[in-house]
């Protein structure tokens, strides 16, 4: 299972349902766009596919932290998504690998953790 994040001049869109017949991601409920000049500044365009378990755990972690200046920076390419923010204790940098539509994680910048190796 995978999820897609699309960045465009309209904002950021996250879609998670893969339509096998049309070979694309679809949105089955209400579409939520982050309004420009409201709470996000968007530059550039792009698309990245992520494992939902990866992005959900990161967003949950961010929601529990007091983010300094309410600023979270996200950038990426086809291989990874980088999220950076600060709180009262530290600057947090998170790197999330992209994945295929079947959920296989991209290993370009990552290696599999093997305990006691």
Domain count, the chain: 1
Compare 64 and 22 and report the one with higher pLDDT. 64
Residue-number span of the structural domain to which 58 is assigned: 3-97
**Inside any domain, residue 103:** no
- Give pLDDT tens digits for 25-45: 666 555 544 444 455 566 667
Q: Which residue has the higher pLDDT, 6 or 72?
A: 72
In a domain, 16, yes or no: yes
Please name the helix (run of DSSP H) or strand (run of DSSP E) that holds residue 63, with its range, or none: helix 52-64
Residue 108 located in a structural domain: no
Residue 35 has a pLDDT of 44
pLDDT digits (tens, 9 = 90+) for 82-108: 989 998 899 999 999 988 877 788 999
CB atoms within 10 A of CB 112: 7
Confidence tier at 7 by pLDDT (50, 70, 90): low
* Residue 111 located in a structural domain: no
The answer to whether the pTM exceeds 0.85 is: no
- 3-state per-residue secondary structure call for 88-102: CCCEEEEEEEEECCC
| DSSP for residue 40 | B
| Closest C-alpha among 104, 107, 24 to residue 95 | 107
Q: Is residue 22 part of a domain?
A: yes
3-28 average pLDDT score: 64
Q: What is the pLDDT of residue 94?
A: 92
Counts of helices then strands in the chain (DSSP H, E): 1, 8
Question: Which token pair is 42?
Answer: 């968007």
């Amino acid at each position: 299972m995978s999820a897609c994040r699309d960045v465009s001049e309209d904002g950021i869109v996250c879609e998670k349902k893969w339509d096998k017949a049309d070979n694309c991601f679809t949105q089955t409920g209400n579409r939520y766009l982050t309004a420009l000049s409201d709470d996000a500044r968007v530059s550039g365009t792009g698309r990245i596919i992520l494992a939902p378990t990866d992005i959900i755990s990161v967003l949950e972690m961010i929601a529990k932290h007091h983010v300094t200046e309410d600023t979270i920076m996200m950038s990426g390419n086809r291989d990874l998504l980088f999220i950076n923010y600060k709180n009262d204790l530290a600057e947090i940098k998170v790197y999330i690998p992209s994945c295929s539509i079947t959920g296989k994680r991209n290993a370009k910048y990552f290696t599999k953790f093997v305990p006691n190796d």
